[in-house]
Structure 1
Amino acid sequence: MPRTRTSATPLFVPRKTSRAAQKAARNQYAQARRQARHTDATSSPRRHSGIDPELQPTYPVAGRPGPASARGGKLRLPAHRMTTATVSGAYPFLAEGGLGAEGIFIGRDVHAEAAFCYDPFALYNSGKIEGFTNPNVVLAGIIGMGKSALAKSIATRAIAHGYRIYVPCDPKGEWTPVAQALDGTTIALGPGLPGRLNPLDAPVRPASVSPDDWDAEVRKRRLLLLAGLARTVLKRDLQPVEHTALDVALDVVVADAARNDTVPLLGDIAAVLSTTARLDTALDHQGGTMHVAAEDLAHALRRLVHGDLSGMFDAPSTIAFDPTTPMLTIDLSHLGGAGDDTALVLAMTCASAWMESALADPDGGRRWVIYDEAWRVMRHVGLLERMQSQWKLSRGLGIANLMVIHRLSDLLSAGDAGSRGRVLAEGLLADCSTRIIYRQEPDQLHAAASLLGLTGVETQAISALTRGRGLWKVAGRSFITQHILHPAERALFDTDSRMSGAR
């Protein structure tokens, strides 16, 4: 049976009752309430049936009754007003409008619960973000957090916006199926493969450049390439006499090619360096010790002709650059990925020089250049110098460079503090207006915070990011973005098929 409780209700007092009558009514009501509480306190306890009374819940299902439940109360704090610009200094992740709806769809802004789009060219041209001075991007994240999927997703979706994609180095061959799915072009280089690239190919002369000026530009590029290759093999800087030897050998080979209506090859350069008589003749026998310098250079370039890189760069190119292809990748996965990576660096140097012919075309439109596994080039000054040139000229060339690394500390592996390599690596980071940081290990948080100037909240955030979620810093503005993949993209970008046993 339901328990009967004693209660007291206020008495009705007519409006025109005297004060004495009202006071008496209030006293009567107070006495009735005291009597009701006394009656409830002295009543016999309710008998429970079935379950042990000790096991009964302390509070009902609805929760703790009374003001202590914190339901329906008002939280009273002193009022304080400030602008969002001020609040962002203490907590940078504010719900805002993002970067706008123009550009490539990336995913979901976690804090704003809205779509997140990104287009460096549109942001640069609009000028609505202060401090966005270049379209270059750096992407860092530990293995398995989805940074490769993000890079491939940006590339494939950018094609729908009219951009073209160049991947000058694919050390693991992961971009080959992506290029094939998009009707792009892949050049696989390696011993025994039919692909050939001649890094001394001259790019097509722009209509706005005179023939003499263009010949001088092509000669400069070829000399920089030859010096970079020799420096990589010799593992030291070149002496002035060695630069002279390369200069003279290139002029001799180019003159021979013009007479025979052929193209200059690396093998021809190595042959001229091996024949000191031709060098002495070209210098009117004023070379002095030219044969000593030429001997080391000849052996250095011989590796690309008769050594472990033979069959890749010692013949005319088997494929011509097609400016209409949506994606061009150079697959270097057949060169191996363990031990000494000198062969890979030499191949990357030659492939980059060949691809620069496309980047120099002023009518090539806007393009993305993606350096996957860029941590492998950080220890080689020659490649860093080539990358720095593209970073500095990105606006003039109409390209957006994307550098993919594992940790921000990879930039510190370029050399000791103050060294040429270290300065170049840190310069690449400084020339990136967009930094995308996926999850970092705890021992890498200090390096990431110091290199990127992260706040305490941002540093704590990147240590707890989940798969596919990253911190986007776009010219000082911060976003936590969840990358969203289409099922077709997920299947195409899968790099864990061997771990899962899938074919």
Structure 2
Amino acid sequence: MTTAVAAGAYPFLAEGGLGADGIYIGRDVHAEAAFCFDPFALYGRLEGFTNPNMLLAGIIGMGKSALAKSLATRAIAHNYRVYVPCDPRGEWTSVAAALGGQTIALGPGLPGRLNPLDAPARPAGTSEEDWAGEVRKRRLLLIGSLAQTVLGRELQPMEHTALDVALDEVVGYTSRIGGTPLLRHIANVLANPKYLGGTPASPERLASAAENLAHALRRLVAGDLAGMFDAPSTVAFDPTAPMLTIDLSRLGTAGDDTALVLAMTCASAWMESALADPTGGRRWVIYDEAWRLMRHVPLLERMQAQWKLSRGLGIANLMVIHRLSDLLSAGDAGSRGRALAEGLLTDCSTRVIYRQETDQLATATTLLGLTSVETDAIAALTKGRGLWKVAGRSFIVQHLLHPTERALFDTDARMHTTPATHR
């Protein structure tokens, strides 16, 4: 019979695929064909594909880290650059080294310093006055985010005024002496009310608001993060490097994540000098272990801004979590944190789900709008096999690794090492 007759008698069940453009991922299990993916090749060509952002979720040991690293490694061959603003476990360092990239390790006792108040280079076509206003806005957002994270609440109007005045005072002083604003300069001004004059605000109320902010910033100046973000940068951003990672593994991996979130906020602000350049080419920005950041509204706000600007800046954001319920940990239903986390999911046209535990299926089904067949599938996926939801279309894809990649990405090496014999 002809294929037309066969299709009518027994409808074909396999998707037609996304085309051959882009990064090779592996094998489309149902179609028995190669599966390739490139968010920028799909944008404007695939109906419903509205942004290049991507969510990757899966329980430990199912291969999601290997997929993220494989995407990054292969993307470089397609003229992407890759940025990892937060590497909590130091797993990306070897990958960056193998690709000729750069890693900046931050932590107590390490020589690396990043000044998050560094001013990015002024883009071509932007006036000095307009760019000065943009730099000021970014610095205020950064300092406000840091203070909110430490205080655990939103800032009050008087506290915003204190930050405005303190930043202007510091920028004016450092410009006169030819220096660069530092966080310790901001903290010092906030701690000394005599520098906060010249505003219509009540001096007593302004001094009280400034005192709280000074104590909040003190953690980065004299607390457990001292020496990392309160001094001039010791490294320069290399926009030509194929990969740049920020290794934060020395900050600890258990208990309170506040130090990690503060460090990531500073590191990501420092990276914005490259991300904000619309001529910087196509780039992946990978948020590994993103589940640890869901409880911190200021950082979610910064991520949301980057998600919204992804198309204009040529950025594909990749958020890696364990479970879909990690998004719900951002806050109670109706809260600002929950709305931001769910907004990040909404702004991901591509969702890749590796195996989920049985008690997570209901949450995954609700958040992703899965069919009953898809829900059953993610409960039985094997290692390296995931459900790809791309603008409403579904694929079961087996990720295939080259032997060199397998050795480079192996996160279970210590589990396979034979212990030494003790005599």
What TM-score do you get using the length of structure 1 for normalisation?
0.80
Question: 1:250 — aligned with what?
Answer: 167
Mapped pair 1:231 → 2:148: yes
Which runs of 5 or more structure 1 residues have no equivalent in the other structure? 1-78, 88-93
Question: 1:343 — aligned with what?
Answer: 259
Question: 1:190 — aligned with what?
Answer: 107
Q: SS in structure 1 opposite 2:318?
A: strand
Q: Which amino acid aligns with 1:108?
A: R
Identify which of structures 1 and 2 has the higher relative contact order when contacts are C-alpha pairs closer than 8 Å and 6+ apart: 2
Query: Which residue, out of 60, 71, 81, partners 1:154?
Result: 71
Query: Which residue, out of 463, 477, 491, partners 2:407?
Result: 491
Give the Cα separation in 2 of the matches to 1:502 and 1:416: 46
* Residue 436 to residue 222, structure 1, CA distance change in 2 (3 Å): same
The alpha carbon displacement at 1:210 in A equals 1.1
Misfit runs of 4+, over 4 Å: none
Q: Which amino acid aligns with 1:236?
A: R
The alpha carbon displacement at 1:82 in A equals 8.2
Give the Cα separation in 2 of the matches to 1:170 and 1:205: 28
Question: 1:448 — aligned with what?
Answer: 364
Question: What is the correspondence of 1:207-286 to structure 2 with a 5 Å cutoff?
Answer: 207-280=124-197, 282-283=198-199
Give the Cα separation in 1 of the matches to 2:10 and 2:144: 55
Q: Which amino acid aligns with 1:103?
A: G
Q: SS in structure 2 opposite 1:112?
A: coil
Mapped pair 1:482 → 2:398: yes
Give the Cα separation in 1 of the matches to 2:7 and 2:85: 54
The alpha carbon displacement at 1:341 in A equals 1.2
Q: SS in structure 1 opposite 2:43?
A: helix
Residue 112 of structure 2 contacts residue 228 of structure 2 at CA under 8 Å; is this kept in 1?
yes
Q: Which amino acid aligns with 1:157?
A: R
Give the Cα separation in 2 of the matches to 1:80 and 1:198: 62
The alpha carbon displacement at 1:209 in A equals 1.3
Can you list the C-alpha shifts for 1:139-197, whole angstroms capped at 9, x where unaligned?
00000000000000000000000000000000000000000111100000000000000
Mapped pair 1:390 → 2:306: yes
Give the Cα separation in 2 of the matches to 1:96 and 1:490: 28
Mapped pair 1:315 → 2:253: no
Question: 2:203 — aligned with what?
Answer: 287
Which runs of 5 or more structure 2 residues have no equivalent in the other structure? 1-5
Question: 2:348 — aligned with what?
Answer: 432
The alpha carbon displacement at 1:288 in A equals 4.0
Mapped pair 1:361 → 2:303: no
Q: Which amino acid aligns with 2:42?
A: L
Q: SS in structure 2 opposite 1:471?
A: strand
The alpha carbon displacement at 1:437 in A equals 0.4
Give the Cα separation in 1 of the matches to 2:125 and 2:351: 35
Give the Cα separation in 2 of the matches to 1:502 and 1:139: 32
Question: What is the correspondence of 1:51-62 to structure 2 with a 5 Å cutoff?
Answer: none
Give the Cα separation in 1 of the matches to 2:194 and 2:25: 61
Can you list the C-alpha shifts for 1:250-307, whole angstroms capped at 9, x where unaligned?
0000001100111000000001111111112x43785342111111111111110111
Can you list the C-alpha shifts for 1:314-346, whole angstroms capped at 9, x where unaligned?
111111111100000000000001111111111
RMSD: 1.5
Question: 1:21 — aligned with what?
Answer: none
Task: Report the identity percentage.
Answer: 77
Question: What is the correspondence of 1:294-313 to structure 2 with a 5 Å cutoff?
Answer: 294-313=210-229
Q: SS in structure 2 opposite 1:473?
A: strand
Q: SS in structure 1 opposite 2:387?
A: strand
Can you list the C-alpha shifts for 1:25-52, whole angstroms capped at 9, x where unaligned?
xxxxxxxxxxxxxxxxxxxxxxxxxxxx
Question: What is the correspondence of 1:395-406 to structure 2 with a 5 Å cutoff?
Answer: 395-406=311-322
Q: SS in structure 1 opposite 2:203?
A: coil
Q: SS in structure 2 opposite 1:289?
A: helix
* Residue 80 to residue 347, structure 1, CA distance change in 2 (3 Å): closer
* Residue 502 to residue 436, structure 1, CA distance change in 2 (3 Å): farther
Question: 1:97 — aligned with what?
Answer: 16
Q: SS in structure 2 opposite 1:207?
A: coil
The alpha carbon displacement at 1:83 in A equals 10
Give the Cα separation in 1 of the matches to 2:183 and 2:130: 23
Give the Cα separation in 2 of the matches to 1:478 and 1:446: 18
Give the Cα separation in 1 of the matches to 2:247 and 2:53: 23
Question: 2:28 — aligned with what?
Answer: 109
Query: Which residue, out of 327, 330, 333, partners 2:243?
Result: 327
Question: 1:55 — aligned with what?
Answer: none
The alpha carbon displacement at 1:501 in A equals 1.5
